[in-house]
Chains A and B, each alone.
Chain A
Amino acid sequence: MDLIDNILKGERAAIAKAITLVESSKESDQQVSRQMISELIKKPGKSIRVGFSGPPGVGKSTFIESFGSYLVSQNYKLGILAIDPSSQITGGSILGDKTRMVEISKNPNTFIRSTPSRGSLGGISMGTREASIILDAAGYDFIFIETVGVGQSEIVASNLVDIFTLIVGPGSGDELQGIKKGITEYADIFIVNKNDGELKIEASKTAADYKSALSYYKKLDELEKQVLLVSAIEQTGMEDVIKTINQIIDQNKLKGIFEERRANQLEYWIEEEVKNIITSDITKRLSSKGNISKYSEKVMKNEMSMFEAVETITKDTLK
């Protein structure tokens, strides 16, 4: 495929079109996309995939602008996949990330793609994983994935990346009581943003709260989880972030954790794909038979129980 060559050459338009393909809900696009991804996977690049998640408005985009500027100034090539939470259930969506990434979006060493989340689970859109494979093959050193932290999204997002970062704001330490143990397993780095001006004291306090909470949950064989203080607006703390990322990557590689994670993620991916195919197949079968209403009527008339109906339909569908 021409497209693949052009992606490997790093051509912007080709990368963009390829991402469109992997995001497309059209069956024929999905076929092309699968072929393409199978090819690209054979030509892995060297990128490190970093996830940034956190509640709305903590400054994820601003941080990415700030941290990203720092990275491109060090001559790294940076791909950014921003999953925009602003999508609505009915209408379309307004993708406003670029208004928060004004400087890096101009830089020739960046590629920034926004995707409406469409309310899909965890704010991760269909195709995010594939998009990062494309950017990897195209030669980007870092791939950032920005997602809003709601519900289960951390888990899904952390399954796409080598390093998962949670960005929080000053004052969010209070919420720690409510934070489940789970989160410490998924996040590798905790960044307390807005460490500037009047918020400084609060930010330090929050960082301390996180640190103590984290040490409480720490497993024996685990690395100490890092809590970093930054100000995206004043662009402070950026060296620490890159240093920490590199450190964790190096250590993980050394200990084989890096590869292990990627293997687990592959497993997860395969499982997901299988589940997807089965679900959509079953959904199709269900609706083509269209006999649910027939059974529900029976249930209404007390001719059979709800559970009998379920059982019968299931058997029928799986036939």
Chain B
Amino acid sequence: MTNKSNNGFNTWQKSFEKETKKNFNDAKSETDEGIDIKPVYTKDDIENFSFVENNSLPGQWPYTRGPKASMYTNRPWTIRQYAGFSTAEESNEFYKKNLESGQKGLSVAFDLPTHRGYDSDDDLVMGDVGKAGVAIDTVEDMKILFNNIPLDQMSVSMTMNGAVLPVLASFIVAGEEQGVDRSLLSGTIQNDILKEFMVRNTYIYPPEPSMKIVADIIEFTSKEMPKFNSISISGYHMQEAGADNVLELAYTLADGMEYVRAAMSKGLDVDDFAPRLSFFFAIGTDFFMEIAKLRAARTLWAKIMKDFGAKNERSLILRTHCQTSGVSLTEKDPYNNIIRTSYEALSAILGGTQSLHTNSYDEAIALPTDESARIARNTQLILQNETGVTKTVDPLAGSYFVENLTEELSKKAWDIITEIEELGGMTKAVKAGIPKLKIEESATKKQAKVDSGSRVVVGVNKYKNPKEPSVDVRVIDNNRVRDDQIKKIQAIKESRDTTAVEKALANLTNAAKDETNLLAPCIEAIKLRATVGEVSKALEQVYGRHFAKSLSVSGVYGKHFEGDQEFMKVENKIKEFENLNGRRPRVLVVKMGQDGHDRGAKIVATSFADMGFDVDMGPLFQSPKDVAKDAIENDVHAIGVSTLAAGHKTLVPELMKGLKEIDPKSKIIVFVGGIIPEQDYEFLYENNVSAIFGPGSNIIESAEKVIDLISDNLSKV
């Protein structure tokens, strides 16, 4: 007899309906993933599963309950905080302090020039050096970064994808020059290029050669670096870019399958490398969903790897790092972020992560200060030491709800994976731009929910703090960092054996022309003190640089606001504007410098277009000069600069200069949106910025302000 037909359930249902005055069958709430959450789950809900197996145990097939039998009861997860800024010297100091305060593993954040394979002295990266991570130009910088940190004992994770070859080579050489053989190095290199094309945007070469590089690294590490994870297959960035959990899960695993195939195509046996594949997921605010996601990920991966013919048990097991969600954190009332992060961290732990980064409360303002980083770290220390969550493995197993959710997520993700496989795999899908567009659609929907108030964000669209606290921010003087780096580069270029370097670089270029593994010739060049930029260029000669072609969603935002008063008010203003001026208000939305955060820009562009603006969308990585040319040729009314990687103080004044250079009488006005610490507002206004829209800005309100300011500006003759 099933539960639903028994008396107990019927009685419950009656009480429920009486209390809520709702029909039980209507009392569901739909998640972003399109899963209906019921008000109660029963034994019925854990029957007839096709993925989840009810009586499995931790460390056993299908590994839903965890990769290991003992999990945290033996050793807690690794507290691994992602950090890096300014010079190697300063980051090294920061790392050492953190390790003394209880952090267990390192995770290096590189600056954007390094990510994109440019040296600090390159003109293209003027505003970006040391700003959003640490600048590494040569192996000397890498050695400084790990000064007094023994690389045979410390596991080091490196978020590097585009310039993965020179950076991994520098790490290996730095180790060797510390006296540590490469076989003893432990840690992870992200090396996940597919999600760069989708959401993270620090690619350098086109998809095919990039995939070849990924495979080279898997091959090399599987042979020479047995303790090193060759890749960190990442869904994290997808969720941060706006993907719901099903998309994150499906695309990540589909990426994983593509990497497995790439490695096997090099003639490797699946068990030669699969145990060293690792994963990375985001943990957002949907508490149970996130737990279920980690459990589903392990379940599905085991199945996938079995299908690939893996025999070694370790090949079947998905091990993952997690990071709490940065995008769930707000600029407004920032101490709320400590609370959000705590819940997310708990979710990650209940889901059984192997290591964790917890974000700082100043996430939506700047890179963390020492103080905010301490609280973020302590969030994990408190979980480990005070709450008792480490004492039982997978404590939610058997929960009707969580098991059901795990199965539902698995099913939905599997459908998408199957679709992508039928399309020919993730590389093809990514080249066609499909996953990126789906993620942008999901991001736009989320924005619409927040802007319409149907999703509450405490302190942003409800329960606002009348007295916003002002917080300290970490300030990085990128001009000083850049000067320091340039001096170091010059000194190295003067002291190295130039002919040998040139020969090594030529070798590398040649190696890129055939199928040779590229890591060994990279190591040679790096050893001789070739720079990260030089190595990247040597490969660029053969592969070229990739420019993404951007597609845009349309109508998704507007659809959410059908009949909405505020939305229609803006629409009408735009119609009036058109009648008066003979054309619609035209705004150029741009990203300048190496900042690849395009979520905000894309959402603003599509929403503005839905309201009736003509929106010109610039490509990524534009220089201020190019933007000025673009703006003037298209005679736009305004430029909206979206800037999140802290280049604004360099790039915005350059843009203003560029406009005046082409047209001294230019009347184009400039708005800035994105991550702007309060302390910089005055500077921007002094540079003639017309308005600033920080994180959490309501897009409809922003649009109204933009149209008003454009109209004002036009009426001034």
Residues of A within 8 A of B (CB): 12-13, 15-17, 19-20, 23-26, 29, 62, 86, 88, 90-96, 98-100, 102-103, 105-106, 111-114, 116
Are A116 and B633 also in contact (CB < 8 A) when A94-B554, A99-B548 are?
no
A88 in contact with B609 (CB, 8 Å) = yes
Apart from A16-B633, A92-B584, A105-B629: 10 A-B pairs, beta carbons within 8 A: A15-B633, A23-B582, A90-B558, A92-B612, A95-B616, A96-B552, A98-B617, A99-B550, A102-B619, A106-B626
Q: Which residue of chain A lies nearest to B623 when distances are taken between CB atoms in the complex?
A: A106
Give chain A residues whose Cβ lies under 8 Å from the Cβ of B581. 24, 26
Q: How far is the CB of B706 from chain A (nearest CB, A)?
A: 12
For B623, the chain A residues whose CB sits under 8 A away are: 106
Against A, the Cβ 8 Å flags (1 = close, 0 = not) of B581-622 are: 111100000000000000000000110111111111111000
Q: Is the Cβ of A93 less than 8 Å from the Cβ of B614?
A: yes
Contact assessment for B615 and A20 in the assembled complex, using a CB-CB cutoff below 8 Å: no
Q: CA A98 – CA B549 in complex, angstroms?
A: 9
Which positions 607-647 of chain B face chain A at CB distance < 8 Å?
608-619, 623, 626, 629-630, 632-635
Give bound CA distance, A12 to B628, whole Å: 11
Question: B714 CB to closest chain A CB, in angstroms?
Answer: 12
Closest 9 CB pairs of A and B: A26-B582, A24-B582, A13-B663, A16-B635, A99-B550, A99-B619, A92-B613, A92-B609, A20-B635
B608's nearest neighbour on chain A, judged by CB, is: A92
B206 to chain A, nearest CB (A): 9
Chain A residue nearest in CB terms to B208? A197
Residues of A near B629 (CB, < 8 A) are: 12, 105-106
In the assembly, what is the distance between CA of A25 and CA of B614, in Å? Answer: 15
The residue of chain A having its C-beta at the shortest distance from the C-beta of B618 within the complex is A98
* Cα distance, A17 to B550, chains bound together (Å): 27
Q: Are A93 and B549 in contact (CB under 8 A)?
A: no
Answer whether A92 and B635 are a contact pair too, CB < 8 Å, given A98-B619, A99-B549, A106-B626.
Answer: no
A-B contact pairs, 27 of them (CB 8 A): A13-B632, A13-B665, A20-B583, A23-B583, A24-B581, A25-B578, A25-B582, A25-B583, A26-B581, A29-B582, A88-B554, A91-B558, A91-B609, A91-B611, A92-B612, A93-B614, A95-B614, A95-B617, A95-B634, A98-B619, A99-B619, A105-B626, A105-B629, A105-B630, A106-B626, A112-B634, A113-B633
A198 to B580, CA, bound (A): 52
Return the contact of A12 from the options B550, B616, B662 (Cβ within 8 A).
B662
Contact residues in A for B49 (Cβ distance below 8 Å): none
- Whole-angstrom distance from the CB of B136 to the nearest CB of chain A? 27
Cα–Cα distance between A12 and B663 once the two chains are bound (Å): 8
A281 to B482, CA, bound (A): 64
Residue contact A17 to B547, C-beta cutoff 8 Å: no
Report whether A94 and B609 are in contact in the complex, using a CB–CB cutoff of 8 Å: yes
* Assembled-state Cα–Cα distance A75/B250 (Å): 49
* In the assembled complex, B574 has its CB within 8 A of some CB on chain A: yes
Least Cβ–Cβ distance between A235 and chain B, in angstroms? 10
Contact B630 A94 (CB under 8 A): no
Determine if B31 is an interface residue (Cβ-Cβ < 8 Å). Answer: no
The answer, among B549, B574, B618, B626, for a CB contact under 8 Å with A92, is B574
Our pick among A93, A112, A113 for the contact of B615 (Cβ within 8 Å) is A93
A24, A91, A102, A116 — which one has the most chain B CB atoms within 10 A of its CB?
A91
B3 at the interface (CB under 8 A from A): no
Looking at the assembled complex, report how far the CB atom of B198 sits from the nearest CB atom of chain A, in whole angstroms.
16
Cα distance, A19 to B633, chains bound together (Å): 9
Contact with A along B655-676 (1 / 0, CB 8 A): 0000000110110000000000
* B609 lies within 8 A of A98 (CB): no
Q: Does B453 contact A (CB under 8 A)?
A: no
Let me know if B605 and A17 touch, CB within 8 A.
no
Q: In whole angstroms, how far apart are the Cα atoms of A26 and B555 in the complex?
A: 27
Say how far A117's CB is from chain B's closest CB, in angstroms: 11
Are A95 and B665 in contact, CB atoms less than 8 angstroms apart? no
Most buried by A among B610, B617, B626, B666: B617
Q: Are B555 and A88 in contact (CB under 8 A)?
A: yes
Residues of B within 8 A of A24 (CB): 581-583
- Contact yes or no, B632 A12, CB < 8 A: yes
Please, which residues of chain A bring their CB within 8 A of the CB of B555?
88, 91
Q: Smallest distance from the beta carbon of A175 to chain B beta carbons, Å?
A: 21
A229 CB to closest chain B CB (Å) equals 21
Q: What's the nearest-Cβ distance from chain B to residue A68, in Å? A: 14
B40 interface residue (CB < 8 Å to A): no
Given the complex, which residues of A lie within 8 Å of B551, measured CB to CB?
96
**How distant is B651 from chain A, measured CB to nearest CB, in Å?**
16
Rounded to whole angstroms, the CA-CA distance of A26 and B580 in the bound complex is: 7
C-alpha spacing A110/B610, complex, angstroms:
30
Contact A16 B618 (CB under 8 A): no
Q: Quick check: A114 and B548 within 8 Å, CB to CB?
A: no
